[in-house]
A and B are shown apart, each in its own frame.
Chain A
Amino acid sequence: MSSIGTGYDLSVTTFSPDGRVFQIEYAAKAVDNSGTVVGIKCKDGIVLGVEKLITSKMMLPGSNRRIHAVHRHSGMAVAGLAADGRQIVARAKSEATNYESVYGEPIPVKELAERVASYVHLCTLYWWLRPFGSGVILGGYDRDGPQLYMVEPSGVSYRYFGAAIGKGRQAAKT
């Protein structure tokens, strides 16, 4: 189901008459059309999995890594535009190290998810920026045990037991 917001979809700072920001929804479509990413929270940890997309036989199998370590205790799997995802990961890494250098303890996963989400949301507020075209599944293990969060291009972040984004998410969820 695709809806066209003629005239109201040119800028991320424009609302449509029915209260939607179409640019953010289009950004979410970029994520929906990309390779699947799945995350599961278990009793003793987190499991993240990505669908490996091989665009050419010339490509080295180990490249195009989509699961990144953010800190000693947390990691992130990226779906959507790869370059946008790389920015989010870089930001998460520096948030995590900065938190630790100020507060002296590894960043709680809830706090990290909030910071990543507010950074992603930040880029939906200004006309001279475009929203991130990538969604992220963030998993970590802190004092309160393993936790799994998903951050969408709109900046929304929820905590999940299991989450999936990308092309095959419907199949993954059933």
Chain B
Amino acid sequence: MGDQTVNSYIYSPPAASSARKLCFYSAFTHPLLIQGFLLLNYSNSSSIDRSAQNHIMDVSTGDIDAPHSMGTTIIGVTYNGGVVLGADSRTSTGMYVANRASDKITKLTDNVYLCRSGSAADSQIVSDYVRYFLHQHTIQLGQPSTVKVAANLVRLLSYNNKNMLQTGLIIGGWDKYEGGKIYGIPLGGTILEQPFAIGGSGSSYLYGFFDQAWKEGMTQEEAEQLVVKAVSLAIARDGASGGVVRTVTINSEGVTRKFYPCDKLPLWHEELEPQNSLLDILSAGIPDPMVS
């Protein structure tokens, strides 16, 4: 009795013809649940980057049509009262930097944000789906959804489509029940609630740093400084990370976005101070360069 009549309430999204379909979950048929289909288009010939269509760039410097990947550094830390998420801003296709000022911290709801790493396309589509489901969930619930629910939705997509996706994600947010929380969801779809999480190619250089620098119960200032320092350290050593540092702080009062351009970041070992002219280095103090 039940199933047949309930089916008339289900909205079926239009089936995509050419793209490969991924199943979100074998949904229990309920009038208010929507079945989602994850679409993946692995067409290497179509370019996501508009400038590549002009074919101005010398192709030998990098394959413009290669899938965009974010060799990345992403970080999420909890502090006393909320969370701070941080990321670099480099999106690369092979050796070519497709976007040097990308925003890898995307909003899922007013109180939950997501740091994306790995394949740019995969992480964008996952975040789009989760934003959609979370929006419906918020409407049904009548209040903001919890960070745990957001993380679980991301995890289900990551795990159930693990053969086709290549993206590591960090979810951070604040809700009134649990406060600030960070969830790490690496490649296979594991979900792990952590006091801090790091991800992306640049994170390899940060494991030891965090072991030493992390402490429980930091203030907001300390946490932000820690995140900026860590991302700039990773940028210094990881070729696939670079650009600017973006941070997002989420607490009970709301969300604050901060932007740290290159000149605001500390320099590390063997990095040169910017000079006005090479002559300044060669002969400090002597105006005439030909004088020995």
Q: Is the CB of B30 within 8 A of A103?
A: no
A51 CB to nearest B CB, Å: 29
Q: A98-B30, A118-B32, A143-B177 are in contact. Are A129 and B5 (CB under 8 A)?
A: yes
B246 touches A (CB below 8 Å): no
Bound CA–CA A118/B142 (angstroms): 17
Bound CA–CA A103/B6 (angstroms): 21
Mark interface residues in A79-119 (1 if CB within 8 Å of B CB, else 0).
Answer: 00000000100010011001001111100101100110011
B31 touches A (CB below 8 Å): yes
Q: Is the CB of A103 within 8 A of B137?
A: yes
Bound CA–CA A110/B142 (angstroms): 10
A40 touches B (CB below 8 Å): no
Taking CB atoms, residues of chain B closer than 8 Å to A108 are: 141
Bound CA–CA A115/B2 (angstroms): 13
B101 touches A (CB below 8 Å): no
Taking CB atoms, residues of chain B closer than 8 Å to A102 are: 25, 152-153, 156
Q: Which of A103, A115, A122, A126 contacts B152 (CB 8 A)?
A: A103
Q: Is the CB of A122 within 8 A of B31?
A: yes
B259 touches A (CB below 8 Å): no
Q: Which of B5, B25, B30, B153 contacts A115 (CB 8 A)?
A: B30
Instruction: List the one stretch of B73-81, B116-124, B143-151, B273-281 in contact with chain A.
Output: B143-151
B149 CB to nearest A CB, Å: 5
Q: Which of B1, B2, B9, B153 contacts A103 (CB 8 A)?
A: B153
Q: A108-B141, A110-B142, A129-B5 are in contact. Are A115 and B177 (CB under 8 A)?
A: no
Interface residues in B105-163 by Cβ distance below 8 A to A read 137, 140-142, 146, 148-149, 151-153, 155-156
Q: Is the CB of A126 within 8 A of B32?
A: no
Q: A104-B148, A110-B142, A122-B6 are in contact. Are A94 and B31 (CB under 8 A)?
A: no
Interface size on A, residues (CB 8 A): 22
Bound CA–CA A111/B149 (angstroms): 14
Closest B residue, CB atoms, query A94: B28
Taking CB atoms, residues of chain B closer than 8 Å to A87 are: 2
Taking CB atoms, residues of chain B closer than 8 Å to A91 are: 2
Q: Which of B25, B31, B140, B156 contacts A111 (CB 8 A)?
A: B140
Closest B residue, CB atoms, query A87: B2
Interface residues in B220-266 by Cβ distance below 8 A to A read none
Taking CB atoms, residues of chain B closer than 8 Å to A98 are: 28, 30
Closest B residue, CB atoms, query A115: B30
Closest B residue, CB atoms, query A90: B2
Taking CB atoms, residues of chain A closer than 8 Å to B1 are: 129
Bound CA–CA A105/B146 (angstroms): 9
**12 residue pairs from A and B, CB less than 8 Å apart:** A87-B2, A91-B2, A95-B30, A103-B149, A103-B153, A105-B146, A105-B149, A110-B141, A118-B32, A119-B6, A122-B31, A126-B5
* B residues at A contact (CB < 8 Å): 1-2, 5-6, 9, 25, 28, 30-32, 137, 140-142, 146, 148-149, 151-153, 155-156, 177
